Amino acid sequence: MKHIHFIFNTLFFLTSVCFGTRVMYAQTSDTPNVIIIITDDQGYGDLGYTGNPHVQTPNIDAFAKEGIRFNNFYVSPVCAPTRSSLMTGRYSLRTGIRDTYNGGAIMASNEVTIAEMLKQADYKTGIFGKWHLGDNYPSRPMDQGFDESLIHLSGGMGQVGDFTTYFQGNRSYFDPVLWHNGKQEAYEGYCSDIFAKNAIDFIEENHQQPFFCYLSFNAPHTPLQVPDSYYQRYKDIDPASGFDGDYRPFVAMSERDKEDARKVYAMVSNIDDNIGRLLQKLESLNIADNTLVVIMTDNGPQQIRYVAGMRGRKGSVYRGGVRVPFFVRYPNKWKGNRNIETIAAHIDVLPTISEVCHVKMPEDRKIDGVNLVPILEKKKVQTEDRSLFFYWTRRYPVLYQNMAVQKGQYKLVGHTDYNAQIEGFELFNIKEDPYEQYNLIQDKKEIAESLKTDLDRTFNELMASENILNQPKILIGSEHENPVFLNRNDAGGERGIWDQEEIYGKWDVSIAEGSYNIKFRFVKPVPKGGTMFLETKGRIDQLKNEIDNTEYIEMTNVQLPKMDCDLIPFYSVGNKKIFPFWVEMQKVNVDQ
């Protein structure tokens, strides 16, 4: 009988090769499908399951009840750092990610993502939604292991970096121009529906072989735009009502906060419906049992609303900013409907997937996360000896400012100066004081000093990382991306570059020698009579502008040598120096 099977399989393979039939890799428990669903700025309290009496999330709630719930799961305080750690298993600073804009949200191309790791086992890989780790070669999803990529640019739709939706204003989430495999394409509908539909289509197209689907919703991030049918569900609620004393302190909500909460809950309900459709697709394809599904969020809420009584929100190293829901389901391997109290974090996802899918992690770098499989399989119940590091300040870390380290039940928090004494810090016993209200620094200085030693060691190690010392550059003139669009999310220079006209900005680039056509787009039309300047490493090209009230200025056939440089464009008119909104650089003599 074995010989008969061997002959049959051989003939099937040869027939497939001869007639061009695609040979599918059989799905097994050693190669489960992997789906990670992450939402943007949805806090711990923005679910019915976590005690919110207002928001309607029946699909996520049911998933949480059926699955495994990590009740002490942590991420970074803001978007890009969380996403880089999730994708690589490493603290964000190691990857080159140090901010969400200001030129600090470009992940180094030498990082190995979950997608690249799974390619070792011939997984098909797709991302749908928010990437926020680099919009240009070589840091785009399609450069980092994803076969299929449907994304918006920068940190959010309607933001300055996502210039294809920015000018849509209060309709930026509807009928957007998105980036499909590196090309602009127009779509109809609401963004969350578009991303979910394309993720479901990807799953259906690839369900006969192992796949990795990264569904990364940009909602409920600002701008708070949602279909009216969802808003109508919440327009009359009072989001500040209905909470008992167990969740105090509860920050008072203004009328604006309440209206924001209504819109967020509407956006979350839309997400919940889309997740329900995706989970139902797994059932109809009969692959639900062999699919590892993760549902999580990237940080705390941006606006004031219910967050289960925790202190702080997005951007804060207090628990309200970094503790998020994390639910996982894999029926073929793990029994569901249980809680795990062990401290875990975003950096643990890659090592865990490595173990589950039997693929090697990168061995030439430090992986900060730990494999959670022994905990999931009840072979280990705690990791009390590990410490977790948190920070968040703009541009670069500011020593001891909004910085924390947590080990076991104790957490040291710094909102102080670089040379502060230990008394200037806060120490919390998270187990006894989950709301971080009682500073124990005077009574437990020895514990605090030990944690500060951990914090100092981790901070100094991370700040010495190669990808921080040598920040990733945008490559211009490559055959892999032409033209290149430089957007404001990735611009350095002055702090806080957004939609200002008069501000000093630049891009850190590596230019290939050649002739370039360069187009400069401005936030507002500029008058004639000024001069367009392009500075590149001691070289300056200029062009007089004779077109009045123009949104664009073009330089053609600009000859540039091979160089690494700061690319500094500005339009000088009168006493103003106006920074472009974006710059398009097209090499006109690309090597074939």
Q: What pLDDT digit, counting tens, does each position of 428-467 carry?
A: 999 999 999 999 999 999 999 999 999 999 999 999 999 9
For a pLDDT cut of 90, what percent of the chain falls above it?
Answer: 91
- Write down the residue that tokens 């939402």 correspond to: 39
**Residue 530 falls inside a structural domain:** yes
Per DSSP (E only), the strands in 117-182 are 124-129, 148-151, 177-180
Are both 142 and 281 inside the same structural domain? yes
CATH no. for residue 533?
2.60.120.260
Tell whether 291 and 312 lie within a shared domain. yes
Beta strands 531-536 and 582-587 are unpaired
Give yes or no: residues 267 and 397 share one domain: no
Instruction: Say whether both 481 and 351 belong to one domain.
Output: no
**Average pLDDT in the 563-578 region?**
97
pLDDT tops 70 at residue 249: no
Q: Is residue 437 in a domain?
A: yes
> Which among 549, 50, 4 has a CA at the least distance from the CA of 296?
50
The 10 Å Cβ neighbour count of residue 450 is: 16
Residue 428 domain-assigned? yes
Distance CA 319, CA 309 (A): 10
Do 357 and 240 reside in the same domain of the chain?
A: yes
Strand duo 539-544 + 582-587: pairing: unpaired
Domain boundary among the residues 434, 469, 504 is at 469
Is 30 a residue whose pLDDT tops 90? Answer: no
39 and 146 assigned to the same domain: yes
Domain endpoint, select from 312, 346, 376: 376
CATH of the domain at 312: 3.40.720.10
- In this prediction, residue 250 has a pLDDT band, given cuts at 50, 70 and 90, of low
Chain centroid to Cα 198, Å, comes to 18
Q: Which amino acid is at 407?
A: K
**Between the ranges 24-33, 48-57, 240-249, 373-382, where is the mean pLDDT highest?**
48-57
User: Whole domain around residue 199: which residue ranges?
Assistant: 26-376
DSSP reduced 3-state for 197? helix
Q: What is the mean pLDDT of residues 182-194?
A: 98
| 171 and 140 together in one domain | yes
Residue 24 has pLDDT above 80, yes or no: no
- Per-residue pLDDT at 177 exceeds 90: yes
Asked if residue 7 is part of any domain, the answer here is no
pLDDT at 382: 61
Distance between CA 198 and CA 189 in Å, rounded? 12
- Phi, psi dihedrals of residue 493, rounded to the nearest 5°: 115, -125
Q: Is pLDDT above 80 for 28?
A: no
The Cα 275–Cα 192 span in angstroms is 10
Of 10-24, 137-151, 192-206, 212-226, the one with minimum mean pLDDT is: 10-24
Q: Are 489 and 510 part of one and the same domain? A: yes
Look at residues 202, 208, 147, 282 and name the one whose alpha carbon lies nearest to residue 23: 208
Residue range 549-565: mean pLDDT, rounded = 97
Q: Would 17 be classed as within a structural domain?
A: no
Q: Which residue, among 51, 188, 229, 137, has the nearest Cα to 485 in the 3D structure?
A: 137
Confidence (pLDDT) at 11: 40
Tokens of 87: 């994708």
- pLDDT, residue 98, reads 97
Clarify whether residues 303 and 327 are in a common domain: yes
Over residues 198-220, the pLDDT tens digits come to: 999 999 999 999 999 999 999 99
The pLDDT of residue 413: 98
Mean pLDDT value of segment 532-549: 96
* pLDDT value at residue 422: 97
- Bond preceding residue 138 cis, omega within 30 of 0: yes
Question: Would you place residue 5 in the very low, low, confident or very high pLDDT band (cuts 50, 70, 90)?
Answer: very low
Which candidate, 349, 249, 301, places its Cα nearest to that of 36? 349
549 occurs within a structural domain: yes
For residue 48, the 8-state DSSP code is T
Where a domain ends, among 469, 484, 499? 469
pLDDT at res. 381? 61
Does residue 333 lie within any of the structural domains?
A: yes
Whether residue 187 has pLDDT greater than 60: yes
Domains held by the chain: number = 3
Token pair 């890989």 in the structure block, residue: 125
Q: The sheet that has 401-407: what strands, in order across it? A: 387-391, 401-407, 410-415, 426-429
* Tokens 């995706």 -> residue: 278
User: What is the per-residue pLDDT across 466-522, written as a single tens digit (0 to 9) for each?
Assistant: 999 999 999 999 999 999 999 999 999 999 999 999 999 999 999 999 999 999 999
pLDDT at 538: 86
Q: Are residues 492 and 582 in the same domain?
A: yes
Containing 52, the helix (H) or strand (E) segment is: none
Together in a domain, 551 and 525? yes
What would the pLDDT profile of 381-409 be if each residue is shown by its tens digit? 666 689 999 999 999 999 999 999 999 99
Query: Is 220 a domain residue?
Result: yes
Q: Which of 243-247, 290-294, 369-373 has the lowest mean pLDDT?
A: 243-247
- Residues 299 and 393 grouped into a single domain: no
